[in-house]
Chains A and B, each alone.
Chain A
Amino acid sequence: MVGLSTVTELLLEGRGIYKRYGHIRALSNANFGVRAGEVVALVGDNGAGKSTLVKCLSGAMQPDAGEILIEGQATKLDSPLHARQLGVETVYQDLALAPDLTAAQNLFLGREIIRSGILGLCGVVDRPSMRAKADTALRNLGVGVQDSSVAVGSLSGGQRQGVAIARLVTWATKVVFMDEPTAALGVTQRERVHGAIRGLRDRGLGVVLISHNLPEVLAVADRLDVMRLGQRVAQFEANNVALEQVVAAMTGAMEQQFDDAPGVGGKASGSGALN
């Protein structure tokens, strides 16, 4: 079992989330929860509703119905900014970087360090210290950016992804959503990102990993939530599940008895889900 958790232990929780795009039901009574100090992977085939769920839980989109709770408090996330103020950070698949700005500028965009004194009152930014901090964050992630004064748009895909993840690692305080964080990375960089994910978990954050790469998921995550057709259909512990079981749940090949309920644990009967 995952543990005798109660609802209040959850850092972030979505209960009975519904979301429609026109006639398409993207989410239909979706439940999800993440605790402090764990890595939960959200897996599912294309169109299962993962990205929509993440958008709803990170403030990028408003659910049609359902409840979002942060540390047990019902919350309405108006915007990504609001979510971030509550400690929920997201790195998107498309990275959301400004290509003309440097790595440091991107890392501090919207949270610039301002000089002290009169210059600070005029809004003058402290470039050297932002650059130094950005360099440290990138180095810790193993992202080699030879010249940090270069525009992000001229970096390689892996380096850009590194910048987006460095930003997240720098600012996250509670919950982190990572949508395909290693999609553009080579083997070494991927390992570094996995290290960063574990580091965030060990700092006591809740990490939500969205990935198509099941071996990666099993290697990094503590827990797996499987989504299909807009809701959670199975939950597994990562160290106690075979790849085939996950695939079966994702594709619907293994129809199990799984009555999903809010919180971390749905009620599963038989030996299917939470073993």
Chain B
Amino acid sequence: MTDPLSPSRNPPVSDDAQSSAVRARAALLRLSSRSGVALLVVLAVLIGVFSALAPSSFASLSNVRNIAINAAPLLLLAVGETFVIIAGGIDLSVGSVLVFAGVLSAKSMGAIDADPSAGWAVVLVGLLVAIAGGGAWGLVNGLLVARTRIPPLIVTLGTLTAALGSAQLLTGGVDLLTVPNHLSISVGTGTVAGVPWLVIIAGVVALLFGSVLAFTRFGEHTYAIGSSFEAARRAGLNIRGHLTKVYLLQGLLAGLAGWLFLARFGTTSIGGHLSDNLTAIAAVIIGGTSLFGGSGTMLGTVIGILIPAVLLNGFIIVGLQPFWQEVAVGAVLVGAVFVDQQRRKVRERE
């Protein structure tokens, strides 16, 4: 029988040609899904090289602790950013939201009891205020991204400016120093069994939300929305609600990170977080999450935070100018997106 309307709709493809193409594609994809292992190898090689070059200083316990403490608050930002980017978005506002939350937290702790010897209750209020303050901006981001047609890049560029401006309005542009000693001594510099509090908090958060991403329906929907908005819509997912929650989560974590920075440095350092957003985004992308959404892992993000941290620390210790770290991170970032693009091209060459 002939088909008068669509004679060549389905050009027959020989089974052999098709299956060998499929096999080749599958092999390539398997290879790229091993990028998690590759990342670990890169990190291990870096650590190995620096340890060999400076065995006494780089590989010391105090230096390892130092690297981990520097990385910990930034990891919180990157954890939230992992959800945002996997869901197909981006959040540029994290650094400003962090500053805003820190300012709000310091202000409220100071308002309750400006004395450095203020009690634990004040510290706790400071924590809750920081998380709430960050969450508020996250909610603004989420509602705007989910309910308007404004691209996330613009929404969060707007809140980047607005949150920083609000922080400066609250303080008159002068850093606040009203941080109770309890907070600085415990969370800021304290350790439990030799592990700094900052590292424990960041680790628990990363583990918790890494599990949410990997094992729960919330994680599943995050991947689905980032992978294909249309497929998620037709599957009946509550996309607006989900995106709002994802940006809210990022805001809450930025708030917590703001509180951790207060604990560590005892000041709001309003001008000190201008590039935190890029640090977080770079970590997520270096960690193998696709900038276009749909794929990525929390383990990758953790390694993506550690690689730049190790580089910076290592360069300083071996006597190279630390600015090389920025050059290296920039190159790795561009390289990571290039690899991701190649992977997509292979997949879409159907």
B-binding residues in A (CB < 8 A): 45, 60, 79-81, 84, 90, 92, 94, 96-101, 105-106, 109-112, 114, 122-125, 147, 150-151, 153-159, 182-187, 212-216, 243, 247, 250
Identity of the chain A residue whose Cβ is nearest the Cβ of B30 in the assembled complex: A150
**Is the pair B26, A147 in contact by a Cβ cutoff of 8 Å?**
yes
Within 8 A of A (CB), among B217-241: 217-218, 220, 223-224, 226-228, 230-237
In contact, A96 and B350 (Cβ under 8 angstroms): no
Measured CA separation A71–B228 after assembly (Å): 33
Check B3 for interface membership: any CB of A closer than 8 A: yes
Judge whether A109 and B224 touch: CB under 8 Å: yes
Cβ–Cβ contact B234 & A186, under 8 A: no
Contacting residues, chain A, for B25 (C-beta < 8 A): 154
3 nearest CB pairs, A to B? A81-B236, A100-B294, A110-B235
CB-based contact B236/A97 at 8 Å: no
Given A100-B294, A109-B224, A154-B347, A92:B234 Cβ within 8 A:
yes
The chain A residue with its CB closest to the CB of B295 is A100
CB <8 Å contact, A96 and B231: yes
| B10 on the A face (CB < 8 A) | yes
- B9's partner among A92, A155, A213, A250 (CB-CB below 8 A) is A213
The segment from B11-19, B147-155, B179-187, B307-315 that touches chain A is: B11-19
Contact B216 A214 (CB under 8 A): no
**A101 in complex: contacting residue of B3, B6, B21, B227, CB < 8 Å:** B227
A157 near B350 (CB under 8 angstroms)? yes
Q: Tell me the bound Cα distance from A109 to B239 in angstroms.
A: 13
Closest chain A residue to B228, Cβ basis:
A98
Count how many chain B residues have C-beta atoms less than 8 Å from C-beta atoms of the other chain: 42
Distance (whole angstroms) from the CB of A153 to the closest CB of chain B = 5
* Across-interface contacts of B230 in A (CB, < 8 A): 94, 96
Q: B residues bordering A, Cβ < 8 Å?
A: 1-6, 9-10, 12-13, 15, 18, 21-22, 25-26, 29, 212, 215-218, 220, 223-224, 226-228, 230-237, 290, 294-295, 347-348, 350
Can you name 17 extra interface pairs (CB under 8 A) apart from A96-B228, A105-B224? A60-B234, A81-B236, A92-B234, A96-B230, A96-B234, A98-B228, A109-B224, A125-B217, A147-B26, A151-B29, A156-B18, A156-B22, A182-B10, A184-B10, A186-B13, A214-B4, A250-B5
Residues of B with C-beta under 8 A to A109: 220, 224, 231-232, 235, 237
Q: Contact check, A215 vs B220: say whether CB atoms are below 8 A apart.
A: no
Kindly state the separation between the CA atoms of A213 and B5 in the bound complex, as whole angstroms. Answer: 7
Among residues of B, the one whose C-beta sits closest to the C-beta of A84 is B236
- Residues of B within 8 Å of A187, CB to CB, are 12
Closest chain B CB from A189 CB (angstroms): 11
Q: Which of B3, B217, B223 contacts A98 (CB 8 A)?
A: B223
Cα A151 to Cα B25 with chains together (Å): 11
Residue among A60, A80, A97 with the highest chain B CB neighbour number at 10 A: A97
Pairwise interchain contact B22-A98, C-beta atoms closer than 8 A: no
Known contacts A100-B227, A186-B15, A212-B5: does B348 contact A153 (CB below 8 Å)?
yes
Complex A-B: 30 CB contacts under 8 Å: A80-B233, A80-B234, A90-B234, A96-B231, A98-B227, A98-B294, A99-B228, A100-B226, A101-B220, A105-B223, A109-B220, A109-B231, A110-B236, A122-B216, A123-B216, A123-B218, A125-B217, A125-B220, A150-B26, A150-B29, A151-B29, A151-B295, A156-B18, A156-B350, A158-B18, A182-B10, A183-B9, A184-B10, A185-B10, A215-B2
Taken together as a complex, chains A and B put the C-alpha atoms of A155 and B26 apart, in Å, by 8
Residue of B nearest to A80 (CB): B234
Q: Residue of A at shortest CB range from B226?
A: A100
Contacts of A81 in B (CB 8 A): 236
In Å, the complex CA distance between A74 and B215 comes to 41
A45 to B5, alpha carbons, bound, how many Å? 8
Name the A residues within 8 Å of B295 (CB-CB). Answer: 100, 151
Query: CA A191 – CA B212 in complex, angstroms?
Result: 41
Q: Is the CB of A215 within 8 A of B29?
A: no
Q: Let me know if A213 and B236 touch, CB within 8 A.
A: no
CA distance A247 to B1 in the complex (A): 14
Nearest Cβ on chain A to B157's Cβ, whole angstroms: 27
A residues near B223, Cβ cutoff 8 Å = 98, 100-101, 105
Most buried by A among B2, B10, B218, B231: B231
For the complex, what is the distance from the CA of A98 to the CA of B227, rounded to whole Å? 5
Give A153's nearest chain B residue, CB to CB.
Answer: B347
Chain B residues, CB < 8 A from A214: 3-5
User: Contacting B237 at CB < 8 Å: which of A45, A110, A125?
Assistant: A110
A41 to chain B, nearest CB (A): 13
Shortest C-beta distance, A215 to chain B (Å), equals: 4
Chain B residue at minimal CB-CB distance from A190: B10
